[in-house]
Amino acid sequence: MTLTSKLLSRTTLLATTLGSALLLGACASMPATSLAPPHPPLVEGRTVDVVPYPDQRKLLASRDPALAANKRLVFDMWRTLFNAGQLEKADQFLSPNYQEHSIVVPNGVAGFARYHSARITRQNAVPALITDPIVTMVAEGDYVAVARVAHYLEPDDSGASYTTTYFDVFRLDNGRIAEHWDSAQIVPGEIPLSAAQGGAVPVTGTEGFPQLAMLQNTNPVLANNKRLAFDLWRHTSEAGREEMAYNYLDPIYIQHNPNAVTGRDGFIEYMAMRPDTLIDPYLEAPLITAIAEGDLVVQVLVGERRDPNHEGVIVKIAWIDMFRMQDGRVIEHWDTAAKGEYPKTPN
């Protein structure tokens, strides 16, 4: 039986055994429509391709007017600056004190405009939609996360490509974007400016028990979803207790990490490579933020990577994961992972 067949069988069983009243009660806490795009067919033992959301306009909707406005600001910024290349309008969207954490982009509004204007051809017309393949947009509080499809070349030099997920996370303040993190990593030959030279602000996060305050939300479902992602990560990824995946993952578990495979058993096999350590009540990696909306949680951590241009130097980056929840379990996962240490981009 394929994973798709298992998913259909489980849904039918749930509807016939729980009874209509209980089923409606369970569904009442879940969003009517997922913020995640419909996934491609599932094949057990294989990674599932990352695909875009079919209608970007639906991602802008929110019952909270403030969240809808934040999403719209990021949406309009993206179309105007990144797609149309009208960088002279950067100060309409970015705060005067804009902080850049992408390790390859200079800090500040002027640095942002200078960096991107050299890489984007200016267009006279702003497109109606974002022209990049957007997976989803997730907003909570002052934060908006944008996930998009990334295509990289296979590391075997075959010329074939694969998909993974690239993330951008924005913090808004007073109607403008005040801070930005993304999935960028230093690659060989690309040496960014230091902070003292006007480069990006170093990536930092919250450590220890104060992380727990970042899991709060007035909506108990969203708070529980953030806690679920948080506990899954500290028990399995950090403490190496792969057997605890049975407490958190749906058996279907749709995997978009290109190095792992779909299915809970595949996750357990992947995590079994990590040594067992003590389980802390908080994440070992500093937590930058956790963003929950609908059935999705975006968790942003401080990661460490080797600098390919300076031997023995470790660079701190934003490591970003996204989880989809269903019936109190994690059923789908996207992250920043690429094959090989430094991903190759198609020409």
Going 271 to 330 to 73 to 59, the CA torsion angle's sign is positive
Domain-embedded: residue 2: no
Three-point CA angle 10, 50, 145, nearest 5°:
100
Split into its structural domains, the chain has a count of 1
How many angstroms separate the Cα of 183 from the Cα of each of 18, 60, 164, 240?
Answer: 42, 22, 11, 24
Rounded to an integer, what distance in angstroms lies between the CA atom of residue 136 and that of residue 141? Answer: 17
> What per-residue confidence (pLDDT) applies to 32?
56
Domain-embedded: residue 318: yes
Mean predicted lDDT score pLDDT of the chain: 90
Structure tokens at 86: 């009208």
Domain-embedded: residue 18: no
Domain-embedded: residue 289: yes
Is the pLDDT at 203 greater than 50? The verdict is yes
Is the pLDDT at 140 greater than 50? The verdict is yes
Rounded to an integer, what distance in angstroms lies between the CA atom of residue 201 and that of residue 103? Answer: 8
Mean pLDDT confidence for 125-153: 98
Is the pLDDT at 86 greater than 90? The verdict is yes
Domain-embedded: residue 194: yes
Domain-embedded: residue 6: no
Question: What percent of the chain has pLDDT above 70?
Answer: 90
CATH number for position 74: 3.10.450.50
Domain-embedded: residue 129: yes
pLDDT in tens, 157-186: 899 999 999 999 999 999 999 999 999 988
Domain-embedded: residue 4: no
> What per-residue confidence (pLDDT) applies to 195?
85
pLDDT in tens, 234-281: 999 999 999 999 999 999 999 999 999 999 999 999 899 899 999 999
> What per-residue confidence (pLDDT) applies to 347?
61
Residue 191 is part of which domain span? Answer: 42-335
Three-point CA angle 89, 187, 260, nearest 5°:
105
